[in-house]
Every structure is written in structure tokens, then in C-alpha cells.
Amino acid sequence: MCGIVGYVGRSEAAPILLDGLRRLEYRGYDSAGVAIVNGDRVETRKCAGRIAELGKLVAERTPAGTFGISHTRWATHGKATDQNAHPHFDASGNLALVHNGVIENYQALKEELIRGGDTKFVSETDTEVLAHMIGKLYDASAPTNGSTPPQHEKNRLVAAVRVALQQVIGTYGIALVHRDIPDFIAGARRGSPLVLGVGKDENFLASDVSAIVAYTRDAVYLNDFDVVAVERDKFEISSVAGERGSYEVSKVEFTDEDIKKGDYPHYMLKEIFEQHGSVRDAMRGRLSLEECTAKLGGLEMTPAQLRDVGRIVLTGCGTALHAAMVGEYLIEQLAGLPTEIEFASEFRHRNTPMTRDTLVFAISQSGETADTLGALRESRRKGYRTLGICNNVASTIARESDGGVYMHAGPEIGVAATKSFTSQVTILALIALLLGRMRHLSTSEGTVIIEALEALPEKIEQTLKLSDHIRAIAKKYIAAPGMLFFGRQFNFPIALEGALKLKEITYLFAEGHPSAELKHGIIALIRPEIPSLFIAPDDAVFSKNLNNVEQVKARKGPIIAITSGSGAERLASVADDTVTVPSAPDFVMPVLTAIPLQLLAYHLAVELGRDVDKPRNLAKSVTVE
């Protein structure tokens, strides 16, 4: 959460910083600000609200200068106000700092500074504490014999950063500038991502490479406890302890065009309509018709090691957790392996019983989700092989896991996850196929599964053609105060995911339940103004779903049905509205049934006038607990 952009070069910094913030607004949009060093002063503009409001302030009086930092905030400590907006300053007003993360011991550090008698705070944030600490340490180290060489001043500032961060408990991604040190930015990370963009006579810092891909595609992804000193034509990476750091310059996989909306009104709709391609890319080169199995070399496990796995644990948060729940059905049905789901936020705080032959998968679109990263670290700390499923090849989860599978879904900017979900489900199907073929699946069964997977992209395209029909359904229920979602077996997690999408972007009450639980309390919620959406494809439990639909209809509850095959005909006399997706085996059906629910949430949010790509209180990448 929150977004950082820093620039040092020969161009005017303000337009570059603002452009970068606009690209990062999905990470937080409670407030925003910039600080640019202009000669003998640090000019700052900041305010509560969206980047557009900051843009107006900057346009009125544009700060001049060729190096500076900027921030878009998702509020943690302190309300979304002008005073709490970043950047924050030290006591001298010469040092400006922006920060992602949470300083857990900030109150104790703040009280210590106040006891010193010369520190006054103007915000409620934990970030201002860090700015004062670094500034105080820097000033205290000033030589008494007059001016010093510029390099000495840079070294002093980096040293102050190191000493301050050694006192910090919590997470941080920071960038800071000082009035007296021209053409210089210092940065550091622990737990919150920070990337260095390497340009020609200019360099960048950002919390996400999408902010700077328009200017450079050469990037260094900083590791935890890295401290970076950035100048126009060089940079130096070291550790918080002062040791020289190693790094690798990577080429960013996507381009500036990939993160534009194109002709779509919202990123979310664009990403929904990209799913036939993202699912195809998730499978590309990973299916072997010759061996009737999946090829997943990134797992970094030999066939013998995979064969010895006796239990699977899947962990994630939000949408990734729902994908994991589908994965549980997939792995247990296709591979016959006991599989359990763990909320990543709970995994490291409870003593989950696990056997020696347990294999853990941590699932995260960004690869930076704080809770999922914590679960991964806890699993590895206890000696379990832990693999990642993520979309960012340079993310922390990708680097710290024992292996894994990249989604190759491309950038996902919309806060509500769509294509990442179907990519995760597709990858879990590949894993289930691989593990199943090592156990009991025959070559003919493997071929059937591969054929079903290879048919998915075309069937997704057919499903996307239902968008106008789903928009019409959304308009019917614009006055509904909420919605209930029901599904069975593979489609129970889809009911949860559909409810989550509706909550995220329409702000309406929504709940997902197993269809069979209807009579166990949920039926009390049925009433004429609350539609019930049933995911009822023509499968082995269709008749059971139909029975539940009848029970809701008998109590005057409106019915929306997502179905397939002959299910549409059988539901016609009961459901008020039906959406028919292409027929498919039950193990791939969740990919198809999820898409109408994404579209329903999207169209209803648009009809309600919601900000689809930036829903209230949410941010795309949850990098704080």
C-alpha cells in the first residue's frame, strides 16, 4: 500500500513525479504530495484527496528542480488530512521523507524525541518520527570545522539513515532528500517494496516498476535491509549494517503500453477482457501432450521429491485465498492428495500441525502481500519446502520461496483482482495435473484434462460476449441493498469470490455460501429485495442446486443463475435471470463461472456511480498488516 516515486536527473522533476504517482494511485489515494529541492530550499506541495488534487496544486505553483520525491498515501497512522500527507520533514525543515509501511514502535521513539525537548510534531503519522530521527542524527554528525566535500555529506546522510533504521521495529520503504545535498536521493526497504530504475543520466526510485516503465525498463529490485544512495549517473547499494550489497539489473517484462487502459473506460474491464490471453499465457509451454502432464520446472523439485509429497497446504489472502480454495478441490480430485487452506494472516500466528512430507504454496498476485510473505517465511523457518505462485518475477515472494510458478498475467492495475484470479486457478489446475499423473491418473485421463485446459481461452472469449446481457441484469438490481451468492463443490469458492467482488467495488452487502447451507440459517435472509445468485452449471450436483433455487423462489427471493448446457432450460421456469456459460468439465468450470460474477460486479458498480478502479478504503497491494 502507498506509492513512492523519486527522481534525480537533468529533467524537471515535477512532471515525472506526478506522472509516476498517477500510475501508482491504485496503491493508495487518501492523500498525495511532492518535495523537490530547488536551490537553497525544499519546495513541497501536498494535500488530502486524489492525485488530481495534487496536480492542481502543482499546476498553480510548479516547484522547479531536477530531483525530488513524491508519495500517494493509504492511511495507516493518522487520518487522511493535509497535515498527515507525505512528505514529512525533520526539525530543520531541510530533510524531506516519504514512507510506505508501519513503524510499530513509533510511539516509544516519538516519546524519546519529545523528551529531548527540541522536537515538535505537526502530524499524527509514524513517518514523521523517522524523518526527525534521521535529521537529528545527520545534524549531530556535522563537522565543526566548516564546509565538507559533497561526498562526505552524502555519506553522513546514509549513515544517519542506517543508524535510525536500526532502531526501527516494523516495515518500511523510504526515500528522502536534503536541501544541502544536491542531486541525491537516499532510499531503503524492509518489507515494503522499493525498486531502483536505472536510466541514462537519470535514476528513479519507486515502490512499483509500473511508475517508471515509461522512462526506463532497467530495474534493480532492492532486497530487505538494502540502503541505496542514488545520484544522476550512479548509485550504490549497501545494507543497513553498512556492508556493500550485491544487485542485478533486470529488464522489465512489460512496456508502458501494457499499463494503459486503451479504449476501455476502466482498468478492471480491460483486465476482465484480457483473461483469454492471461489464461493462455499461464499455460504456455507448460502442457505436454506427449507425456499427458504439466511441465513446471520452476518448482525446482525432482520427480522423486514431488512423488514423496504427502500433503499440500495452500495459503493466501482475499482473492488469492479463494483461488487456493478452488485449488484444494482440484488437487484432491485430480491428485488424491490431502490439501488444506490456511489464511495467510493466521498461518504464522498459530501452530498448524504439518507432517514432514508437507508442501506449502504461498499465493499472491503482487508477490509482496505482507501476510502471505509472513506465512512463507514462517513455513520456511520451520523447514518446510515452500513454493510461490505470483505474477511478479522480481517480487519478494518469488525471491524468497524455494521455487514456484509465475502467472505471466501481465500488469493488473484495477484494485479488484480479476485476471490474476483465473490465472491462479489455471496454475493450480496444472499443479493438480502434474501431481495426479505421478500418482493415479492414466495417460488418457491426462489427455482429457489437457484438452479441457487448452479449450479454456476460446470458452473465455465466448463467456465475455455475455457482457451486455449481464449489464442488463445489473440494471435490474440497482436498488438491491445486497446479494447472496451460492455454489457447491468447485463453485463454492466462486460464490465467495463473487461476493467479494461485489463488496469491493459496489460497497453493497454480499455473502457467499455453500448452497447446501441455505437451510442452516441463511434462508432467514431471503426476501423479495435481496437477489440470490446461484452458480449452478450442468454438473453432478445440478439437481441439488436446483432444489435450493426452488426453496428461495418459494420465499419470493429473486434468482440469478449462472449455468451451462441443459441447465439453462431446466432453470428457465424458476430463475428470474440466467447466464449460460460454455459447457466444460467441473475442474475447469470455476474459471468460466467467475467471469460473469466479475462482470456483474463491474456493471452494477458503474450503474451506481462507484469509482471502479479505486474503490474506497482499498489499495491494490496490501504490504502492511
What CA–CA distance (Å, rounded) separates 358 from 370? Answer: 23
* b/e code 40-54 from CB counts within 10 Å (16+ = b): eebbbbbebbbbeeb
> What does 188-251 look like in DSSP terms, one character per residue?
EEEBS--EEEE-SS-EEEESSGGGTTTT-SEEEEPPTTEEEEE-SS-EEEEETTSPBPP---EE
SS (H, E, C) 560-618: EEEEECCHHHHHCCCCCEEEEECCCCCCCHHHHHHHHHHHHHHHHHHHCCCCCCCCCCC
What CA–CA distance (Å, rounded) separates 534 from 547? Answer: 11
Q: Of 532, 528, 607, which Cα lies nearest the Cα of 571?
A: 532
| Cβ neighbourhood burial of 379 (10 Å; 0-12, 13-18, 19+) | buried
| Cβ neighbourhood burial of 388 (10 Å; 0-12, 13-18, 19+) | buried
Q: Looking at 2, 292, 317, 390, which residue is catalytic? A: 2
| Residues 6+ away with beta carbon under 8 Å from 195 | 205, 206, 207, 208, 209, 212, 219, 220, 221, 222, 394
Q: Which residues pair with 187 in a beta bridge?
A: 175, 228
What CA–CA distance (Å, rounded) separates 447 from 499? Answer: 34
Three cell numbers, residue 108: 516509544
**46 is a catalytic site residue:** no
What CA–CA distance (Å, rounded) separates 255 from 241? Answer: 36
What CA–CA distance (Å, rounded) separates 42 from 178? Answer: 8
Cα atoms in the 13 Å half-sphere on the side-chain side of 449? 30
42 sits in the region (left: phi over 0; alpha: psi -120 to 50; else beta) called beta
| Rg (alpha carbons) of the chain, rounded to whole number | 26
Are the CB atoms for 595 and 72 separated by under 8 Å? no
What CA–CA distance (Å, rounded) separates 389 from 361? Answer: 7
Q: Looking at 419, 459, 501, 620, which residue is catalytic? A: 620
Q: Distance from CA of residue 245 to its chain's centroid?
A: 27
Q: Which residues pair with 7 in a beta bridge?
A: 68, 204
Cα atoms in the 13 Å half-sphere on the side-chain side of 19? 16
Residue 384 CB: number of other CB atoms within 10 A? Answer: 18
> What does 149-164 look like in DSSP terms, one character per residue?
-HHHHHHHHHHHHHHH
Q: Which helix (H) or strand (E) holds 375?
A: helix 370-381
**295 is a catalytic site residue:** no
How far is the first Cα of the chain from the last one, in angstroms, to the nearest whole number? 10
Are the CB atoms for 15 and 215 separated by under 8 Å? no
Three cell numbers, residue 240: 543497513
Polymer length of the chain = 625
Three cell numbers, residue 190: 524492509
What CA–CA distance (Å, rounded) separates 13 from 35? Answer: 10
Are the CB atoms for 547 and 559 separated by under 8 Å? no
Which are the catalytic amino acids?
2, 620
